Amino acid sequence: MDLQKRYEELKKQNLTDGDRIKFIADLGASEEIEYHYKLICKDRDEGTNLNLSGSFYKHDKEGLEFLLEVLDNEDEENLKVFAAYLIAETLSKLRHRDFYLEFCNRLIPVMTSLIESKDALLRQKIIIALGWIGSLDEIDILTKQMSEDKDSLCRAWSASSLMQMSFHGVDKELLQEKTKQCFALAIAAETDLYACGIMIEAAQVLFGKKWISSSAAEDVDAEKIEKARKSAARFLNK
């Protein structure tokens, strides 16, 4: 198989970035759905980071059906989360298709059960994926994780996912209305400065404000984060 030979060359790093991008595009354009999925799993297990999932959406509805079958037949929690995350990533690129909502409705109940995972890394992946495909119905799940999750990164990504929803078809005004008080409480209560910075950054994008720079949040600049926390609180508690 030509694809197999090219994959081996990629792994040996004998190919350029252009070759890698072409290979990923050709993989998505092929009918080898199962082979594509196997390579994505291999890439994950071997940590080669070739980003092979980027073209899975090209398999269209057939690719989604294949992944949902994988999800249904998977018992291990971490592999279920991996499959659910891949379905959400794929769906986020197929928003314009008439089958989009049907597949979201099939996937979201599985994701909302997986968010109960005791593994913080798995919860983080589900939280991020909900930001891509969640609807108004999932806002309460994310606001709960933002204020109650024991893992600081889960709290941070919950805030970020609420912001992401506004880019992915959820009505911005309704989102603002449903999250304003939750952001006010979570930002005031957050003890981890990195998470606090991410929350403030997410809120300022959602509400069209400018309280903190991305670099101050990323660098965990305590002084700037605390100053931004006060500004955010003033606005969010109005």
- What is the distance between the alpha carbons of residues 153 and 158, in angstroms, rounded to a whole number? 8
Please state the rounded mean pLDDT for residues 106-133. 96
Q: Which amino acid is at 38?
A: K
Q: Environment class of residue 209 by beta-carbon count within 10 Å: exposed (0-12), middle (13-18) or buried (19+)? A: middle
pLDDT tens track for 130-152: 999 999 999 999 999 999 999 99
Q: Is 208 left (phi over 0), alpha (psi -120 to 50) or beta?
A: left
Asked whether 149 and 155 are in contact (CB, 8 A), the reply is yes
Residue 35 has pLDDT above 70, yes or no: yes
Which residue type sits at 162?
A: L
What backbone torsions phi and psi does residue 135 show, to the nearest 5 degrees? -115, -175
Q: Compute the residue count for the chain.
A: 238
CB distance 36 to 90 below 8 Å:
no
Average pLDDT over residues 50-73: 95
Residue with tokens 């060359």: 9
Inter-CA distances, 163 with 120, 155, 169, Å: 21, 13, 11
- pLDDT range class, residue 15, cuts 50, 70, 90: low
pLDDT of residue 70: 96
pLDDT in tens, 81-106: 999 999 999 999 999 999 999 999 99
Query: What was the pLDDT predicted at 49?
Result: 80
